[in-house]
Amino acid sequence: MSPERQRLLIVGGSYAACETAAHARENGYGEDILIVSEEPELPYDRPPLSKAYLKNPNEKLSPLRTAAFYSANRIDLELGTRVVSLEAGTNKAMLSNGENVAFDILALAVGAQARRLTCVGADLRNVHYLRSVADARLMRAVTAEAENVVVIGAGFIGLEVASMLVQQQKQVTVIEATDRVLARVVAPEMSQFFSSAHRDRGVKLLTSRTVQSLEGENGVVRRVVLEDGTGIDADVVVVGVGSVPNLELAQQLGVHCANGIVVDARSRSNQANVFAAGDCAAYRSPFNPAGIRLESVQNATEQARVAGAAIAGVDTSYDALPWFWSDQYDLKLQIAGLPSGATERVLRPGSGADPSVFYFRDDACICVESVNRPRDHIAARRLLPRRKISKQDLQDVDFDLLSLLKR
Ligand SMILES: Cc1cc2nc3c(=O)[nH]c(=O)nc-3n(C[C@H](O)[C@H](O)[C@H](O)COP(=O)(O)OP(=O)(O)OC[C@H]3O[C@@H](n4cnc5c(N)ncnc54)[C@H](O)[C@@H]3O)c2cc1C
C-alpha cells in the first residue's frame, strides 16, 4: 500500500463505511478508496447479533456486500486493522499494523461502542457486552452453559437478549434503573405492553432498581447486588446500558464534536475534507430537530449514501425520516419518526393486543410506534413526510392508513 497515493480513506467496517464507499464510486469518485476496519469480517448485518445469531449456533453472518463487489468497484479493504491515530494537518493515518496511509478525503464511519459498567466487580469474567460478532460468539458460548443470567438495562439490546435467553430455558432477570422498559425510545403504553410480554414469558423484570456491585468467585461473576441490598444469582451478566460514540479520531483532528461528530446535511464536518456518518455522527434535520444521535441501520445507510455522493461532488442532502425496529419473541416493534416535541399521543382503538401509538405535534402526526402491524408502519413511513395522518382517521380501527396515499 503506497503511502503517497491520493485516496478516500474510510475508517470503520459496517453500514456507514460500506455505503460511503459504494456511493462514492456509484456517483463517479475515481480515486482510490480504502476501508480500514478493526473487525476481521467483511462488513456484515449487525441486528441479528442480538436476535437469531444469539440463539442458533448454525446462523451465518450476512455480509452487506460480497467480496466480489469490493474488488469490482476498486474498493480496497484492510480488515482486522485499527486506525490508531490521525495527525492533524498532515492527512495521514497511523494503522495498528505499523503502516501510515495518506488521504485527501477522510470518512469517519467508526460507529459507537457499548457503554461500560463502572461499579465494583464490573471487570469480573462473564460480564458481557454485545456490539460485534466476536461479542455475540462469546456470549452464545457462555450462555449455553449458564442457568442464571442477569441482564442490566431494559433497552432494545437488553430486552432482545432477554427474549432469546428465556426461550432457551434460562432464568433471566432484567434490571432497569428507570421506572419502565424502553423508556428512552417508546411511549409508556408501549413500555407497559413489552413489560407484560416479558413477564408473561418468564422474565423477572425489576424496574426502578440500580446495580450497586457485582460479586464473584475466582474472578468469575456470581451475584449482582442492587442498591437496596438484594442479591441476584448470576452465572453470566449481560450489560446493555447504551452506547458511546467513537469520537477519539475526530477529536485528534480538532473536528467539532458534541454528542457525536457534528455534520451538515451533506454529512460533512466542520473540516471540508472530513465526512462522518452513522452511529458516530450527530445531525439536526427537519425530522430530528433536536439533533439526537441516531443508532439505526436506516440512519447509518442513508446518511452514508449522502456522504458518498458528496465526496464524489454530487449534491444531495440527508433529510430522510428515521425508522427503527426491534424483534422480541414473535413481536416486531417498528417505529417511524421521532417523538420529540410531541404534544399528544393517540392509541389506536381496539389495538390492545398489537398496539399502535401515534404521536402528534399539534395536528401533525410526527411518529408512529406499532407492534406486528407492518401495514401501519409502511404507511407511516410514507405518510409522515406528507403530514397526512389525522386524529379522525385513527378513530376507526379498520381504517387502512395506506388508503391515505390516494387522498
Ligand atoms: C446487537 C445489536 C443489535 C442491533 N439491532 C438493531 C435493529 O434491530 N435495528 C436497527 O435499526 N439497528 C440495530 N442496531 C444498531 C445498528 O446496528 C447500528 O446503528 C449500525 O450498525 C451503525 O452502523 P455504523 O456503520 O454507523 O457503525 P457500527 O456498526 O458501530 O460500525 C463501526 C465499525 O467501525 C469499526 N471501528 C471503530 N473504530 C475504528 C478504528 N479506529 N479503526 C478501524 N475500525 C474502527 C468498528 O469495529 C465497527 O466495525 C443494533 C446494534 C447492535 C450492536
Q: Are residues 92 and 153 in the same domain?
A: no
At 375 the pLDDT is: 86
The boundaries of the domain holding residue 373 are: 330-406
Does one domain contain both 282 and 370?
Answer: no
Mark which of 218, 241, 264 sits at the end of a domain. 241
- The set of cell numbers assigned to 285 is 434535520
Output the domain CATH number for residue 206. Answer: 3.50.50.60
Count of domains observed in the chain: 3
Q: In this structure, what C-alpha cell is assigned to residue 219?
A: 474472578
Same-domain pairing of 220 and 132: yes
- Percentage of the chain modeled with pLDDT above 70: 98
Instruction: Give per-residue pLDDT as tens, 25-47.
Output: 999 999 999 999 999 999 999 99
State percent of the chain over pLDDT 90. 84
**Residues 150 and 236 placed together within one structural domain of the fold:** yes
CA distance 182 to 266: 31
Domain boundary pick from 225, 241, 257: 241
Q: Assess if residue 119 is contained within a domain.
A: no
Q: Is residue 321 part of a domain?
A: no
The letter for the amino acid at 19 is E
Q: What is the pLDDT of residue 248?
A: 98
The reply to whether 25 falls in a domain is yes
Q: Each residue of 380-389: pLDDT tens digit?
A: 999 998 877 8
The three grid cell numbers given for residue 131, joined into one nine-digit string: 456490539
Is residue 20 within 6 Å of ligand 1 at its C-beta? no
Region of 202 on the Ramachandran plot (φ > 0 left; ψ -120 to 50 alpha; else beta): left
Q: Look at residue 205 and tell me if it is in a domain.
A: yes
Do residues 248 and 106 share a domain?
Answer: yes
**What pLDDT shows up at residue 349?**
64
User: Side chain identity at 134, as an amino acid letter?
Assistant: A
Q: Do residue 401 and residue 296 come from a single domain?
A: no
pLDDT, tens digit, 9 for 90 and up, residues 213-272:
999 999 999 999 999 999 999 999 999 999 999 999 999 999 999 999 999 999 999 999
Q: Which domain CATH number covers 385? A: 3.30.390.30
Of residues 103, 109, 85, 104, the one with CA closest to residue 95 = 85
Specify if 151 maps to a domain: yes
Q: 228 and 305 in one domain?
A: no
Q: Cα separation of 34 and 1, whole Å?
A: 10
Choosing from 14, 18, 61, 96 the residue with most ligand 1 atoms within 8 A of its CB, the one to mutate for a pocket test is 14
pLDDT band at 351 (very low <50, low <70, confident <90, very high): low
| Same domain for 342 and 301 | no
The pLDDT-based confidence of 128 (bands split at 50, 70, 90) is very high
Q: Is residue 2 part of a domain?
A: no
Question: Same structural domain for residues 219 and 138?
Answer: yes
Same domain, 237 and 261: no
Whether residues 207 and 288 fall in one domain = no
pLDDT for 61-94, tens place per residue?
999 999 999 999 999 999 999 999 998 889 999 9
Is residue 323 included in any domain, yes or no? no
Is 333 touching ligand 1 by the criterion CB < 6 Å?
Answer: no
| Final residue belonging to a domain, choices 206, 241, 276 | 241
On whether both 133 and 230 belong to a single domain, the answer is yes
**Is 121:24 a contact under the CB 8 Å cutoff?**
no
Best probe residue, ligand 1, of 62, 297, 332, 381 (max atoms within 8 Å of C-beta): 297
In a domain, 387, yes or no: yes
Residue nearest to atom 53 of ligand 1 (CA): 131
Query: What mean pLDDT comes out for the span 129-155?
Result: 96
**Measured between alpha carbons, how far is 194 from 187 in angstroms, rounded to an integer?**
11
